[in-house]
């Protein structure tokens, strides 16, 4: 772990020269011999600049924090992968955290934001977290991008073609002659939830089918809550013959509920879920899904973060790759 000064001493030059050589300063005039001598010593000593010192001067850390709800959810994993790749390409590393850190984790994140520990923040909105953290980030001028959430107050965001996806899935069910199509939505109040419900509604209206609010039920993106919501929905609306499930994880719970209520899938209850994951093909009834560009979502979020503010024109960026329906046995 040599320092600049040590390298400089070895090479018989000043630290300034070493620094400028390492950073390829074009304005540095230097003789070929000195240059090569310095480079040689840098190479064989394996010198790497101390990050703390570099950050202190430059006010850049090379770190981007990515906050998602749940790292065990494969949907978020795919987003993470995209973000990771984009960040690596830009010379940044990703610092990931999720809600599982609890208050300690949140405190850690706040410290990171406040103390200029990160160059940027990609945040999947979450009621409790967002308010505090966003306020801090704004105050500290830490560039921030929201993932799958539009707050509307000029905050940059990256979203998926949610309405499209929901419409596509619903249309598929309509094409298969279903008349009473329910919607198992994600958590109430989130903008992407609303967008998906809107897509479902749009498809139904276009086909002249009924679509009132009693066909909608909210659920968290977990298996247990999907099961609960589906049970309630099927009991209150027994005529339903098909379901658009806005999250692939809650879809698993929903399928279990349908089965346990004696419904055959897809004969008595067809199911289409949003987001494709490899597992979908291995469910007890292989699940028809609408694939969304999750990897791109992660990638674009990072790219958006790094374009100078306002340069992109739009505050909310929709990942443009179109959703795609993958037909399996559940419909």
Partner DNA sequence: CAGGAATGGTAAAACGAATTACCAAGCTGG
Partner DNA sequence: CCAGCTTGGTAATTCGTTTTACCATTCCTG
Q: Counting contacts by CB under 8 A, is residue 5 touching a second copy?
A: no
Count of residues binding a second copy (CB under 8 A)? 67
Q: Counting contacts by CB under 7 A, is residue 56 touching DNA?
A: yes
Q: Are 134 and 155 in contact (CB under 8 A)?
A: yes
Tokens of 66: 């990515």
Q: Counting contacts by CB under 8 A, is residue 54 touching a second copy?
A: yes
Distance, CA of 88 to CA of 85 (rounded, Å): 5
Q: Counting contacts by CB under 8 A, is residue 56 touching a second copy?
A: yes
Range list of β-strands (E), 120-269:
120-124, 144-147, 157-159, 181-185, 216-218, 242-245
Which among a second copy, DNA, none contacts residue 313 (Cβ within 5 to 8 A by kind)? Answer: none
87 CB-near residues (< 8 Å, 6+ apart):
64, 93, 94, 302
Q: Counting contacts by CB under 7 A, is residue 100 touching DNA?
A: no
Q: Counting contacts by CB under 8 A, is residue 102 touching a second copy?
A: yes
Owner of token pair 């905050």: 155
Distance of CA 4 to the CA centre of its chain: 39
CB closer to DNA out of 15 and 286:
15
Q: Pick from 189, 203, 188, 190: which is nearest to 272 by CA?
A: 203
How many CA atoms lie less than 13 Å away from 12 in the CB half-sphere?
5
Distance, CA of 116 to CA of 165 (rounded, Å): 38
CB closer to DNA out of 23 and 205:
23
Q: Counting contacts by CB under 7 A, is residue 53 touching DNA?
A: yes
| Residue 83, φ and ψ in degrees, nearest 5 | -65, -45
Least CB distance from residue 110 to DNA, whole Å? Answer: 15
Interacting stretch for a second copy, rule CB under 8 A, among 111-119, 150-158, 233-241, 266-274? Answer: 111-119
Q: Counting contacts by CB under 8 A, is residue 282 touching a second copy?
A: yes
Least CB distance from residue 17 to DNA, whole Å? Answer: 4
CB closer to a second copy out of 211 and 255:
255
- Out of 5, 16, 35, 53, the residue judged to bind a second copy by CB under 8 A: 53
Provide the binding-site residues for DNA, judged by CB under 7 A: 3-5, 12-17, 19-20, 22-23, 25, 28-31, 33-34, 47, 49-50, 53-54, 56-59
């Amino acid at each position: 772990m040599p320092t600049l000064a040590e390298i400089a001493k070895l090479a018989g030059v000043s630290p300034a020269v070493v620094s400028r050589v390492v950073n390829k300063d074009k304005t540095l005039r230097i003789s070929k011999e000195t240059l090569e001598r310095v480079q040689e010593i840098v190479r064989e000593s394996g010198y790497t600049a101390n990050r703390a010192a570099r950050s202190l001067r430059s006010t850049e850390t090379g770190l981007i924090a990515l906050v998602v709800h749940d790292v065990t959810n494969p949907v978020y994993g795919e987003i993470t992968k995209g973000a990771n790749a984009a960040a690596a390409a830009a010379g940044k590393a990703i610092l990931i955290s999720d809600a599982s850190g609890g208050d300690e984790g949140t405190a850690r994140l706040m410290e990171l934001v406040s103390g200029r520990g990160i160059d940027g923040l990609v945040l999947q909105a979450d009621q409790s977290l967002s308010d505090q953290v966003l306020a801090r980030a704004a105050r500290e001028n830490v560039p921030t991008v929201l993932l799958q959430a539009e707050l509307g107050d000029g905050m940059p965001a990256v979203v998926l073609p949610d309405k499209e996806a929901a419409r596509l899935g619903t249309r598929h069910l309509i094409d298969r002659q279903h008349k009473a199509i329910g919607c198992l939505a994600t958590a109430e109040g989130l903008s992407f939830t609303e967008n998906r419900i809107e897509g479902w509604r749009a498809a139904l209206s276009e086909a002249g089918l009924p679509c009132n609010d009693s066909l909608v039920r909210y659920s968290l993106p977990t298996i247990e809550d999907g099961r609960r919501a589906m049970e309630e929905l099927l009991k209150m609306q027994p005529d339903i013959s098909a379901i658009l499930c806005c999250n692939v994880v809650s879809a698993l719970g929903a399928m279990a509920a349908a089965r346990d209520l004696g419904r055959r899938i897809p004969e008595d209850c067809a199911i289409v879920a949003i987001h494709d994951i490899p597992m979908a093909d291995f469910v007890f009834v292989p699940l028809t899904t609408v694939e969304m560009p999750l990897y791109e979502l992660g990638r674009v979020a990072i790219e958006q973060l790094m374009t100078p503010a306002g340069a992109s024109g739009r505050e909310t960026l929709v990942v443009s790759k179109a959703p795609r329906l993958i037909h399996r046995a559940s419909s």
